[in-house]
Structure 1
Amino acid sequence: MTADNKKSPEIPDCCYYPNNPLLITPNLPTPKHSLYLSNLDDQKFLRFSIKYLFLYEKSVCVESLKISLSKLLTEYYPLAGRLRAQDVVNHENNNNNNDHQKLVVDCNGEGAFFAEAFLDYTVAEFLEFSGKPNKSWRKLLYTVDALTFLDVPPLVVQVTNLRCGGMILCTAINHCLCDGIGTSQFLNAWAHITTNPNSDLPIQPFHSRYVLKPRIPPQVTFTHPVFTNFIPQIGENSHFALNKFLQSQPLIATSITFNPSQILNLKKKIVPSQKCTTFEVLASHTWQAWVRSLNLLHLINVKLLFSVNIRKRIEPQLPQGYYGNGFVLGCAETSVKDLVTKNLCHGVKLVQQAKSCLNDDYIRSMIDLLEDKKVRTDLSATLVISQWSRFGLEDVDFGSGKPLQMGPVASDIYCLFLPVVNDPESVRVLVSLPQNMAEKFEFYMTQYLDCDQNIQINGYHNQERMILV
């Protein structure tokens, strides 16, 4: 395991914009209609933009990027539209608080926001400290002047040319329209059209979301621990206090890279009869380290939520090219005591059980549950892991080569599993925590596994006190 301990410096202001930002519209007329968003798209949990950063050794002609984006938006025309809210009536309760806003896409062809900038910086300078996102990286993505989330275009792009001839490409893609697989499909399609202007898309986008529509009436036939309709008040329970505490603290990013041999060593700690994937063992190890670093009471129940692709888990399977939210969250849950005192097998089994229950019946029940707009994702005492390491984002090549670095523009309390450029079997784990907790988290992710197993299981409290001193 390799922890990146270099402190990322502030990058200078992007003080020079050679041209005013503009809207890139589809180069041909596109359908004008309202695009239905599924209940998986329309979750309040997803009402944000996924912000990607790509660093390239050589820049690409900005005009060619604009032309190819205009062509691509003819195919992906909803990304040139605007989100709109509609009032809907809750199926289960016709008394108070019936009216809720459901989002749809007004496919009006207004266009994607595109900004071009220059930064007095070099690729080498950026790479030296690129292991951890820095708040100043937000300068690399133009902030659209908008009153609400709905007023921001679903696609925002900034191309920043560097002093050395390199380029940083940042994109913000509204999560209500695309999941990680969908954004990768779109970005690779953009790169394909840029390098092959006269060719067809390798994958045609599938726009309709009705394949994931709820049943009428809704049939919630399972319990779904991912969600809650309980809205606690401050101080009402320790779970809520923890979540609010983490959100209120100044956070720093911690980044730890696991290479194939280190991942294999983790797997060797699982009993031979229990096979597991890289994600299962690394997610379990990360969850354990995160909980240990927080020093929680043993009686508290903690959750791990992680994204699971459902494109082939439902019947019929989602069509090829489906770029909407084709994932749900798996939920593993246990007590702090069991998670920190039992070996890694315990967490792996919980992750595997959480994945195994996600069949068509369960997923349809979840979609129906989300008809109740009071339901929200339970983020109390919860670690959320999103896997970016198997989407092909590290392969996005606009003609000047694959990116030297790819990752998020900013980091938050959610955990990301990121790809490592030129090393497809390695995984970079990125999560932000308060300073003192981040240091303990790095310890538990790296050195702690080298300790004697008896110390890990029986000496947890002594070890914890030693770290806190």
Structure 2
Amino acid sequence: MLQSNTSLTFVVRRRAPELIAPIAPTPRELKPLSDIDDQEGLRYHVPGIHFYHRDPKMGNRNPASVIREALAKVLVFYYPFAGRLKEGSARKLMVDCTGEGVLFIEAEAEVTLNEFGEPLHPTFPCLEELIYDVPGSGGIIDSPLLLIQVTHLLCGGFIVASRLNHTMSDAHGFRQFMTALGEMARGAQVPSILPVWQRELLFARDPPHVTFAHREYEEGTNNITTTGMDEMTEKSFFFGPTEVASIRRLVPQNLKSCSTFEVLAACLWRCRTIALKPNLEEEMRFMFPFDARAKFNPPLPIGYYGNCIVLTSAISTARDLAQKPLSHALELVTNAKSIVTEKYVKSTTDLMVIKGRPNFNHARSYCISNLTKFGFDETDFGWGKAAYGGPATGGLNIIPGVVSYCMRSKKHKGESGIMVPICLSSRAMDKFIEELNNMLILDNE
């Protein structure tokens, strides 16, 4: 288990927030989002964060000034980000490309990068100071679609924090935008990958017709009925080669080809269910967002930066999860993953239209978003790769206890692996750690 330096406190001084508009004229038009983009479950702001060390080669260059100028340039290509969302009939979201700009804040903090601890991982201290919630900016409609705050540190390093309206992009799309922003900061005139809008590729069919069950969106109470969900705590767990091998020893021969994410997902779903102590006859649901870009024939265009994630789910009774071997949960996870095809994506888009863009049902649910392949830490503004790049929280800000991220990380002495922040009540967390250690055959660190 990784320990965060959550007791760290420091003072942040901010300049007045400003709107950064495209440096050149951009089209004034109304651009509808896709029927994957504008579902209820994506109508929130996603916080991200990048930490950078001081680089002597950059001399006295001000990273905030560099990124501010690059932002004005990259918005010429990604001009919808400078607009504002409107809602039409049947709750259809569209971008009014007004060119008003994205929010930008320059700040300085009386803290060094080393004080955040090693390795860097959520939850980060004083996060509300590093991503300042500008009054009136947090809405979905008629609000800035992106906020970026650059905070200078005492050591000469800096932090780039962001807050993205999720309806505009998924992790793949935002990684593409941040890469382009870094390229502009390093002197490029044009992004290496040009952005592609074409949200009509993920419009519902006419007429829409649902061809899969999509139990992740089934109607029912969204109250969290598992026990002890008050007084939440969040801890980050590291899975290096040793930990992954310990879990894989429980995997039968016919499932040995399963991915590391699938094995970890099954393990965490099982341990979490046991820790929550639900009624054993209750159905527990595991969901994960699946990037379906490659499932299309032909594939979606390179440069498409809209959401192309669909939810798929595995369902089991709590009794079977707790009492059957890990292979039970693992088979359910792999089967849920295998169901995603182009037809499944089209069925999801049609469901959104038919059912009024519903949220997913998070009662007795657990969702892990796999971010291990996106390389947010590779974003380079001229000071090299980030010491950490990725989510600013472990999911606590979305639906406490329901959503987690799975991300690349390093442990002591640079050991590479995967880190997963888990959010549970204190009592459930103790039981979760006990169950996980039983599976790992490792002493709790």
Identity among equivalent positions (%) equals 30
Q: For 2:47, give the aligned amino acid.
A: K
- Aligned residue for 2:59? none
Residue in structure 2 matching 1:33, options 18, 29, 32: 29
Tell me, what secondary structure is at the counterpart of 1:242? Answer: coil
> Does 2:392 correspond to 1:415?
no
> Does 2:208 correspond to 1:254?
no
Question: In structure 1, what is the Cα distance between the partners aligned to 2:228 and 2:169?
Answer: 30
- Aligned residue for 1:221? 211
> Does 2:380 correspond to 1:384?
no
TM-score of the aligned structures, taking structure 2 as reference length: 0.90
Label 1:410 to 1:425 Cα distance change in 2 as closer, same or farther (>3 A).
Answer: closer
User: Aligned-pair distance for 1:201?
Assistant: 1.5
User: Aligned-pair distance for 1:347?
Assistant: 1.2
User: Aligned-pair distance for 1:421?
Assistant: 5.2
- Aligned residue for 2:299? 317
User: Aligned-pair distance for 1:149?
Assistant: 3.0
Question: In structure 1, what is the Cα distance between the partners aligned to 2:82 and 2:415?
Answer: 33
Query: Deviations for 1:5-39, whole angstroms, at most 9, x for unmatched residues?
Result: 4551142231x22x322111111111111111111
Label 1:48 to 1:424 Cα distance change in 2 as closer, same or farther (>3 A).
Answer: farther
**Residue 47 of structure 2 contacts residue 391 of structure 2 at CA under 8 Å; is this kept in 1?**
yes
Question: In structure 2, what is the Cα distance between the partners aligned to 1:5 and 1:424?
Answer: 16
Q: How does 1:188-203 map to 2 (within 5 A)?
A: 188-195=179-186, 197-203=187-193
**Residue 11 of structure 1 contacts residue 137 of structure 1 at CA under 8 Å; is this kept in 2?**
no
Q: For 1:66, give the aligned amino acid.
A: R
- Aligned residue for 1:179? 170
Tell me, what secondary structure is at the counterpart of 1:64? Answer: helix
Tell me, what secondary structure is at the counterpart of 1:146? Answer: coil
TM-score of the aligned structures, taking structure 1 as reference length: 0.86
- Aligned residue for 1:45? 41
**Residue 122 of structure 2 contacts residue 391 of structure 2 at CA under 8 Å; is this kept in 1?**
no
Question: In structure 2, what is the Cα distance between the partners aligned to 1:46 and 1:6?
Answer: 28
**Residue 138 of structure 1 contacts residue 409 of structure 1 at CA under 8 Å; is this kept in 2?**
no
Label 1:183 to 1:23 Cα distance change in 2 as closer, same or farther (>3 A).
Answer: same
Q: How does 1:142-181 map to 2 (within 5 A)?
A: 142-146=132-136, 148-181=139-172
**Residue 212 of structure 2 contacts residue 347 of structure 2 at CA under 8 Å; is this kept in 1?**
yes
> Does 2:74 correspond to 1:72?
yes
Question: In structure 1, what is the Cα distance between the partners aligned to 2:268 and 2:153?
Answer: 36
Tell me, what secondary structure is at the counterpart of 1:84? Answer: strand
**Residue 330 of structure 1 contacts residue 355 of structure 1 at CA under 8 Å; is this kept in 2?**
yes
User: Aligned-pair distance for 1:244?
Assistant: 9.8
The farther-off stretch of 21-30 and 406-415 is 406-415
Label 1:424 to 1:448 Cα distance change in 2 as closer, same or farther (>3 A).
Answer: closer
Structure 2 alignment gaps of length 5 or more: 56-61
Q: For 1:388, give the aligned amino acid.
A: L
Label 1:337 to 1:86 Cα distance change in 2 as closer, same or farther (>3 A).
Answer: same
> Does 2:265 correspond to 1:283?
yes
> Does 2:124 correspond to 1:141?
no
Question: In structure 1, what is the Cα distance between the partners aligned to 2:245 and 2:440?
Answer: 13
**Residue 286 of structure 2 contacts residue 367 of structure 2 at CA under 8 Å; is this kept in 1?**
yes
**Residue 9 of structure 1 contacts residue 134 of structure 1 at CA under 8 Å; is this kept in 2?**
no
Residue in structure 1 matching 2:420, options 414, 429, 435: 429
Moved over 6 A (4+): none
Tell me, what secondary structure is at the counterpart of 2:223? Answer: helix
User: Aligned-pair distance for 1:200?
Assistant: 3.0
Query: Deviations for 1:160-210, whole angstroms, at most 9, x for unmatched residues?
Result: 101111111100111000001111111111111111x13431211111200
Label 1:396 to 1:64 Cα distance change in 2 as closer, same or farther (>3 A).
Answer: same
Question: In structure 1, what is the Cα distance between the partners aligned to 2:254 and 2:264?
Answer: 18
The farther-off stretch of 310-319 and 152-161 is 310-319
Structure 1 alignment gaps of length 5 or more: 89-100, 233-238, 452-469
- Aligned residue for 1:441? 432
Tell me, what secondary structure is at the counterpart of 1:35? Answer: strand
The farther-off stretch of 58-67 and 252-261 is 58-67
Residue in structure 2 matching 1:332, options 285, 310, 314: 314
- Aligned residue for 2:116? 126
- Aligned residue for 1:263? 244
Q: For 1:267, give the aligned amino acid.
A: R
Label 1:6 to 1:365 Cα distance change in 2 as closer, same or farther (>3 A).
Answer: closer
Q: How many residues align?
A: 425
The farther-off stretch of 114-123 and 339-348 is 339-348
**Residue 185 of structure 2 contacts residue 382 of structure 2 at CA under 8 Å; is this kept in 1?**
yes
Tell me, what secondary structure is at the counterpart of 1:255? Answer: strand
User: Aligned-pair distance for 1:243?
Assistant: 6.5
